[in-house]
Amino acid sequence: MAAGNSAFSFGSTATGGLSLARQSTNTLVRGNLDADAAFEFVLVITDGATAHTSYTAADFLL
């Protein structure tokens, strides 16, 4: 992805993708900026009992 303001595709682990995963009682928001398998950033939402599958693209400003 180019530097600057780039759009993400919600629910994707591909280049430009933003995906969610559960880790214990937290939700991980994982971003992939390039073509390798590693995520370039991970944000942790300490949401307790909220399932990561409850979130939709409307919950994020992408």
Backbone angles phi, psi at 54, to 5 degrees: -80, -20
* pLDDT tens-digit profile, the chain (62 residues): 556 667 888 999 989 899 999 999 999 999 999 989 899 999 999 998 899 999 999 998 86
In whole angstroms, give the CA distance from residue 18 to residue 30: 6
Per-residue confidence (pLDDT) for residue 44, from 0 to 100 = 97
pTM here is 0.81
In whole angstroms, give the CA distance from residue 28 to residue 5: 22
Delimit the domains of the chain by residue range. 9-49
Looking at 15-54, list the stretches that DSSP marks H as alpha helix, in order from N- to C-terminal side. Answer: none
Instruction: Identify the sign of the CA torsion 43, 41, 30, 18.
Output: positive
